[in-house]
Amino acid sequence: MVRTARFLTIFIACWLAVAGHQPCAAQDAERGYLVDVPVPLDSQATVKLIGTLERLVESAPTDGRLDVVLQYGDDRSGGEATSFEDALKLARAMTGNRLRSLRLVSWVEGNVTGHSILPILASDSVLASPSGSLRDASSGEADFDETIRLTYLSVAAKRGVFPAAVVEALVDPEIELSRVNTVDGKTTFAAGKDLVKLRETDRVLSEETWSAPGAPTVLSADQLRSSRILAGLTSDQREVADVLDLAELIGVGEQSDGGALKGVHLEIAGSISRNRVRRWQSNLNASLENDVNTWLVSINSVGGDMDQSAILASLIGMPEPPLRNAPGFLSGESRADSALIAVACKPLYIKPDATLGGSGTDVITITDIDNHRELIDQIARTTKRPAGLIRGLLCPELDVFPFTNKKTGQVKYCSEEELTAGAEDPQLERDRWERGERLDFADGIDADRAIELGLAEAKSESLEDAAARAGFSSIPDPVSDRGIIRIVERLGRSKGLMMILMMVGFIALSAEMNAPGIGVPGFLAMVCFGLFFWMNYLAGTAEWLELVLLLMGLACIALEVFVIPGFGIFGIGGMIMTVASIVLMSQTFVLPKNSYQLAVLTRGLWAAIVSLLGMVGGFVLMRQLFPHVPLFRHLMMETPDSAAMDQAEKLADYGWLLGQQGTTTTPLRPSGKALFGDQIVQVVSEGSMVDPGSTVTVIDVQGTRVIVEG
């Protein structure tokens, strides 16, 4: 009885353990995603499909692969219209490193023809419904192309799902395909010349013709299953999930946190400044109130303020519901602190000729990195980018190395201090890794290097292409902002236009100085200077200090021209303040601290000098040319006639008074009037005060100036 009771106890315990384990298995079962493949494939659909797959990479587990089913529906006619280039682009993406964390399964429900077959050959495995088939991959091609055949064979060889003979027969309808049983008990496929050579041997036991020469190859689902090309026959999504051992298949766009993709476009161009970041931040937050769930960020910036870039990067790099993600597109350069904004975007698409990192308008020190270390680590965890690389990209002074684990081959990017931080035995930890060459980020990195290091996801030729990869049918609308501001910001990025504004402004100012009171040149100068300041203000390089300097400089120059004859302290000081204001309006720093800032300062100085030369040149031009041009002659004051002036001075000759005595009629303090004979004359004493009625003697006559002594 005791043995029986003990046996029953053990049996019940085992049964409960097994029964209790089943729910856990159901809970731990994985989910897969279902993506519809449009047929025929065009360039836009291809880019959008690749973008969808790249976004799904973010959902892949770190210790496994995510199942993604590419569905070719039961009505997939028109594959012959798929271009070879578009199909190859998708196939290359499917076999590339970027999607290596996905297990791509093609599910063929209908008849797939033409080059739409090529991405199926690039799949990890293939499923098909009973009515599915693959037909004539070369359909739509006028002539057979050997390059296409080799490409098909290369793509299929990367996966090893389709035998080479089957691939050749699908591409070239002129060759025969047979399934051959050999005397050694093996079954193989042979096509074309290989089939002829095999028949000439005594190894063929039997063969089954699958495709006659001159007839397009058609592979049915039964044939694909019998040849073990298919992973299984499936009639619906439930069966697909069962074959792949998945709890469920979720159609892309049907995720619980998804819904329709609705986004806005934020353009970050020029300098990063406090007022611009506040405006962008306000506009982005306001967009979430309009059911926006995705921000598409395009970047072309030289940086400007590490603290402000950190604020924007935290907003973009750590999205909170209802925001799903913030894909980015680097169109030109993302220097200094703006690189933090770029790497915070996930995924980040980068133009082939773009530059990520490098010297910019803000010099980032190791202290700045330490102050933002926690934020950088958070962005690195969210975007799955190496934190050490982000720090090195922002501050080229940091010594960042690639360390390779000698046992596992794992690569870690960090400094030597970070490698051993927290280790109980730093030397032992250091011995576990092999250090590579120091990474140099001083001049930034190109697109290929950024992708290789995991700081960007893929290259993209245009914003339209990046938007399609992110899942948009077109570029989203810009974040809510006044259109005039966007227009002025775009115009402000044209250095040529800025130079023209300054030249025209100074020339108009010189015209107003030559003919004061006309008003039109003065108004034009005011408009040019106002636009110049506004454009730089919106670009984040100008503040009110620069405007005050410009106004004070122009006021001092005007004071020197109209009030104080000659050229003294007001003229020199005015020119210095004017040049300083123009230079400071074109940059976010005062004194250069790196080569990039020095280049910006040099450009600003030349712009200021050329602008001032325009004013001087315009002044001289108007003086010399306009008096001889009838249209502008009335704008210029006539040059006085020196002979006429001499004659006028001779008419008031007081030389006869020299040595004469007279009587003052008014006090001389020191000027006043005196009576000589019967003529009252304006006189000036030699310096002392003289009372009225006193006798004075003329001691000197200078034209109309009569000097007396009492």
pLDDT over 80 at 6, yes or no: no
Task: State the average pLDDT over residues 53-70.
Answer: 83
Q: Evaluate the omega torsion of the peptide bond into residue 347 and state whether it is cis, within 30 degrees of 0.
A: yes
pLDDT value, residue 481: 56
What is the spatial distance between Cα 480 and Cα 109, in angstroms, rounded to a whole number?
44
Assign 255 a pLDDT band (cuts: 50, 70, 90): very low
Quick check: 128 and 107 in contact, CB under 8 A? yes
What is the spatial distance between Cα 169 and Cα 94, in angstroms, rounded to a whole number?
23
pLDDT value, residue 24: 36
pLDDT over 90 at 350, yes or no: yes
For every residue of 10-53, DSSP letters joined together read HHHHHHHHHHHHHHHHHHH--EEEEEEPPSS--HHHHHHHHHHH
CATH architecture under which domain 29-173+216-251 falls: Alpha-Beta Complex (3.90)
Quick check: 177 and 213 in contact, CB under 8 A? no
Instruction: List, as own/partner pairs, every contact residues 542-545 make where C-beta atoms lie below 8 angstroms and the sequence separation is at least 24, other chains included.
Output: 542/584, 542/585, 545/584
What is the spatial distance between Cα 106 and Cα 496, in angstroms, rounded to a whole number?
54
pLDDT value, residue 518: 52
Read off the pLDDT of residues 400-427 as tens digits, 9 standing for 90 and up. 999 988 877 778 888 888 888 877 788 8
**CATH number of the domain located at residue range(s) 642-709 in this protein:** 2.40.50.140
Lowest mean pLDDT among 110-119, 430-439, 576-585, 621-630: 621-630
CATH of 263-400+438-469, one of 3.90.226.10, 3.30.300.130, 3.10.20.30, 3.40.50.300: 3.90.226.10
Read off the pLDDT of residues 514-565 as tens digits, 9 standing for 90 and up. 655 556 777 777 788 777 777 776 666 667 777 788 778 877 877 776 666 5
C-alpha distances in angstroms, 142 versus 138, 188, 192, 649?
9, 31, 21, 102
Q: Which two tokens stand for residue 540?
A: 């984040």
pLDDT value, residue 654: 79
What are the sequence ranges of the domains in the chain? 29-173+216-251, 177-213, 263-400+438-469, 483-633, 642-709
Residues 6+ apart with CB under 8 A from 438: 399, 400, 401
pLDDT over 70 at 40, yes or no: yes
Quick check: 75 and 109 in contact, CB under 8 A? no
- Kindly report the pTM of this predicted structure: 0.54
Task: State the average pLDDT over residues 23-33.
Answer: 54
Quick check: 169 and 191 in contact, CB under 8 A? yes
What is the spatial distance between Cα 13 and Cα 33, in angstroms, rounded to a whole number?
38
Residue type, 521: P
pLDDT value, residue 257: 43
pLDDT value, residue 106: 93
Rg (C-alpha) for the chain, rounded Å, is 42
What is the spatial distance between Cα 152 and Cα 115, in angstroms, rounded to a whole number?
10
29-173+216-251 and 263-400+438-469: identical CATH topology:
yes
